[in-house]
């Protein structure tokens, strides 16, 4: 009988490496401090309450870098996908890293300009632009 795998939790944090709070830190120190903070916050609860088999704090920076544990996670996922689909490991890991960076970029752009929902197909004729009031002033 096949044994059921343990629960694993992944918590993602994206930080700005150019923020004032990070100016005096080296990149490795930034990733490590965020990683340790996540472990302090969630580690005890996940092991005691959730009975989790693992906890991975996936730390990413807005500039596209990843922490050590996140990189290990990406490699493990890529290895599994490459074996299952019989693809080259290097192609799969490159795809995953590229996909994460594009999703991160899209998230940064959305946070700057806001999320634009697709139109709800409102007819242009039903919109009121108050054009009659403006035209009557002139």
pTM over 0.85: no
More confident residue, 114 or 75: 75
User: If you compute the radius of gyration of the chain from its CA atoms, what whole number of angstroms results?
Assistant: 23
pLDDT tens-digit map of 53-86: 778 889 988 888 888 989 999 999 999 999 999 9
pLDDT tens-digit map of 1-48: 555 556 778 888 888 888 888 888 898 999 999 999 988 888 778 777
Q: How would DSSP label each residue in 4-44?
A: PPPPEEEEEEEE-TTSGGGTTS-HHHHHHHHHHHHHHHHHH
pLDDT tens-digit map of 92-112: 999 988 888 888 888 878 878
In whole angstroms, give the CA distance from residue 78 to residue 80.
Answer: 5
- Give the chain's end-to-end CA distance (angstroms, integer): 83
**Residue 34: how many other CB atoms lie within 10 Å:** 19
What pLDDT shows up at residue 126? 57
């Amino acid at each position: 009988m096949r044994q059921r795998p343990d629960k694993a939790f992944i918590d993602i944090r994206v930080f700005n490496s150019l923020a004032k709070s990070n100016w005096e830190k080296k990149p490795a120190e930034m990733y490590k401090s965020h990683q340790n903070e996540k472990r302090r916050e969630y580690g005890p609860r996940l092991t005691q309450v959730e009975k989790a088999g693992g906890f991975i704090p996936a730390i990413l920076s807005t500039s596209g870098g990843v922490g050590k544990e996140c990189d290990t996670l990406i490699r493990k996922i890529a290895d599994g996908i490459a074996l299952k689909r019989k693809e080259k490991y290097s192609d799969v890991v490159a795809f995953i890293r590229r996909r994460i960076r594009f999703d991160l970029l899209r998230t940064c752009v959305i946070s700057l300009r806001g999320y634009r929902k697709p139109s709800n197909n409102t007819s242009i004729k039903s919109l009121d632009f108050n054009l009659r009031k403006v035209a009557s002033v002139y």
